[in-house]
């Protein structure tokens, strides 16, 4: 039986996994996730075969992303309806979302050297890279023979201009230690860009949006002509907007007034993960959890909320609003759409309504009924109404699993020898090479030349039909 691809997203509170066929275009076989890892009971959601929307509270102990991943594999491998996904032998590739990729501009194949490099980056995204690395190492051990590949959240933001990504600190120290803005949620933003551009009927290279990925980790990104020109997260995902357990922007001096132990190693540190007390507080003991006691924004964004919940809600509105104003100016007012995505952006009509009401001066206006209904099965839903003078308001059901093929043309090119040399694969590479050719100049043309030399059946157009 043909082998399959497994795509894994270890988020800060959930592990999501999708199985795909290894074909062009890849088709979803099954989707599974365990959420609530940080707020038990964990919840298992599953779609596969005739099972459309399974949702179960788990009694099993799920204490870590590795536990969640093992549980997902167990459930999927033991579903008799998924005959093509019955064991590790059915997998060709596992593609891992890795939040911090440092200076990596493209995906890498996992081997001893890349694991070592990723370990060095672990401290910069302690809530994420250690989860992803834990799962990567588990795969190396328990699923040897399946090639693991990483996709980085940071790669989409490689286009940040120097004056945006540079902090105003000593540049010798900054360069020696890699201290700069990297930005995150890039896999989501590239999905949002592709989907929104297609929805608007524009080439991605001509699309300008302010995209908000609001989930347990929340960020916002200014995309100009298809490129990230600024984003709210920085060196680590703790900066910018507050999140479920993250503080977002604070005065850096605050940590020394908060606790005299700020620089000491946190008791939560492990052999593999070193985290200072200040990092522990700002990453894991702040955000709306610290304000309200819950990490679930669904409990906070309600009518007649208690004062603590209303304060958390108002803080998020205030901070997002600040970035929208900032990015509206950075995009010279030429904004095709404000895009809501992520668990909160997609599900909280109240938050969208509160934010859009404050953006009326930018010409933003929404249809209250469509906003309340939210998205159904569509990837992008338009909730704007009115004169059409301001930016459209869209909800995009983002997908951090679908990233392997459209974004990874460079990986395929660099590693073509690992792949079956069928015309199908060349088509994938060509399509991406073609759309990237203008951005990457000669390199895109070289790829096309290379493919022509192999007499591949290069039909192209694949990425354009992808959403």
Ligand X SMILES: Nc1ncnc2c1ncn2[C@@H]1O[C@H](COP(=O)(O)OP(=O)(O)O)[C@@H](O)[C@H]1O
Ligand Y SMILES: CC(=O)OP(=O)(O)O
Per the annotation, binding residues are 9, 16, 97, 213-217, 400
| Residue 215 engages Mg ion in binding (rule: CB under 5 A) | yes
Exposure class string for 146-171: b at 16+ Cβ within 10 A, else e: bbbbbbbbbbbbbbbeeebbeeeeee
Q: Which is nearer to ligand Y, 6 or 341 (CB)?
A: 341
Tell me which of 107, 150, 208, 216 binds ligand X, using CB under 6 A.
216
User: Least distance to ligand Y from the beta carbon of 237, Å?
Assistant: 4
Q: How many positions of this chain bind ligand X (CB under 6 A)?
A: 18
Contact between 287 and ligand X by CB under 6 A: the answer reads: no
Does residue number 99 form part of the binding site for ligand Y (CB under 6 A)? yes
Handedness of CA 428, 401, 64, 232 (dihedral sign): positive
Residues annotated within the binding site for substrate are 97
Q: Which one of the spans 209-217, 369-377, 425-433, 451-459 is the region binding ligand Y (CB under 6 A)?
A: 209-217
Choosing among ligand Y, ligand X, Mg ion, none, which partner's interface includes residue 296 (Cβ < 5 to 8 Å by kind)?
Answer: ligand X
| CB nearer to Mg ion: pick between 215 and 248 | 215
Beta strands in 225-322 (DSSP E): 227-231
390 in contact with ligand Y (CB under 6 A): no
Of 49, 84, 178, 298, the residue at the interface with ligand X (CB under 6 A) is 298
Among residue numbers 4 through 23, which ones bind ligand X (CB under 6 A)?
11-14
User: What count of other Cβ atoms lies within 10 Å of the Cβ of residue 186?
Assistant: 29
Rg (CA), the chain: 22
Residue 331 near residue 362, CB atoms below 8 Å: no
CB of 275 to ligand Y, least distance (A): 16
Q: Which residues, 6+ apart, have CB-to-CB distance to 264 below 8 Å?
A: 276, 277
Query: Counting contacts by CB under 6 A, is residue 301 touching ligand X?
Result: yes
Is 129 a binder of ligand Y (CB under 6 A)? Answer: no
Nearer to Mg ion, 33 or 277 (CB): 33
Dihedral sign, Cα of residue 43, residue 129, residue 109, residue 271:
negative
Distance in angstroms (rounded) separating the CA atoms of residues 76 and 45:
11
Q: Which of 131, 295, 371, 384 lies at the binding interface for ligand X (CB under 6 A)?
A: 295
Residue 217 interacts with ligand Y (CB under 6 A)?
Answer: yes
In this complex, which beta carbon is closest to ligand Y, that of residue 4 or of residue 128? Answer: 128
Active site residues: 153
Residue 216 sits in the site that holds ligand Y (CB under 6 A): yes
Instruction: Supply the angle between the helices 112-121 and 129-142 in degrees, to the nearest 10.
Output: 160
CA distance 363 to 249: 28
The CA distance from 291 to 247, in Å, is: 10
153 contacts ligand Y (rule: CB under 6 A)? yes
The distance of closest approach from Cβ of residue 244 to ligand Y in the complex, given in angstroms and rounded to an integer, is 8
Question: Between the CA of residue 342 and those of 153, 219, 220, 308, 383, what are the distances in Å?
Answer: 14, 10, 11, 23, 16
Interacting residue ranges for ligand X, rule: CB under 6 A: 11-14, 215-217, 244, 295-298, 301, 342-344, 347-348
């Amino acid at each position: 039986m043909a082998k399959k691809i497994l795509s894994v997203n270890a988020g800060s509170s959930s592990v999501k996994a999708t199985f795909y066929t290894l074909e062009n275009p890849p088709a979803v076989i099954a989707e599974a996730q365990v959420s609530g890892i940080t707020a038990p009971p964990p919840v298992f959601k599953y779609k596969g075969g005739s099972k459309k929307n399974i949702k179960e509270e788990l009694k099993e102990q799920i204490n870590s992303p590795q536990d969640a991943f093992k549980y997902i594999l167990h459930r999927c491998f033991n579903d008799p309806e998924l005959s093509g996904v019955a064991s590790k032998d059915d997998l060709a590739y596992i593609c891992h979302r890795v939040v911090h990729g440092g200076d990596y501009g493209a995906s890498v194949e996992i081997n001893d050297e890349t694991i070592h490099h990723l370990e060095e980056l672990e401290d910069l995204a302690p809530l994420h890279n250690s989860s992803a690395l834990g799962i990567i190492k588990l795969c190396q051990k328990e699923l040897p023979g399946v090639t693991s590949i990483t996709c980085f959240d940071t790669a989409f933001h490689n286009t940040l201009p120097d004056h945006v990504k540079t902090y105003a600190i000593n540049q010798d120290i900054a360069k020696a230690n890699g201290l700069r803005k990297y930005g995150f949620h890039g896999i989501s933003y590239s999905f949002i860009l592709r989907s929104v551009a297609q929805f608007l009927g524009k080439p991605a290279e001509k699309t300008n949006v302010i995209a908000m990925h609001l989930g347990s980790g929340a960020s916002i990104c200014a995309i100009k002509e298809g490129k990230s020109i600024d984003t709210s997260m920085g060196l680590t995902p703790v900066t910018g907007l507050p999140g479920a357990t993250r503080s977002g922007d604070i005065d850096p001096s605050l940590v020394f007034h908060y606790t005299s132990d700020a620089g000491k190693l946190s008791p939560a540190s492990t052999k593999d993960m070193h985290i200072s007390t200040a990092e522990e507080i700002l990453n894991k003991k702040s955000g709306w959890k610290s304000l309200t006691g819950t990490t679930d924004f669904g409990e906070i964004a309600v009518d007649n909320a208690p004062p603590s919940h209303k304060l958390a809600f108002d803080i998020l509105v205030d901070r997002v609003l600040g970035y929208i104003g900032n990015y509206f100016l950075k995009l010279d007012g030429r904004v095709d759409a404000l895009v809501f995505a992520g668990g909160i952006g997609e599900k909280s009509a109240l938050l969208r309504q509160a934010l859009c009401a404050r953006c009326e001066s930018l010409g933003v206006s929404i249809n209250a009924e469509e906003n309340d209904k939210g998205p159904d099965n569509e990837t992008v839903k338009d909730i704007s109404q009115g004169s059409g003078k301001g930016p459209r308001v869209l909800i995009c059901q983002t997908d951090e699993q679908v990233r392997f093929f459209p974004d990874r043309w460079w990986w395929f090119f660099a590693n073509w020898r690992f792949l079956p040399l069928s015309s199908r694969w060349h088509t994938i590479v060509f399509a991406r090479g073609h759309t990237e050719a203008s951005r990457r100049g000669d390199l895109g043309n070289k790829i096309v030349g290379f493919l022509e030399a192999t007499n591949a059946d290069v039909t192209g157009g694949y990425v354009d039909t992808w959403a």
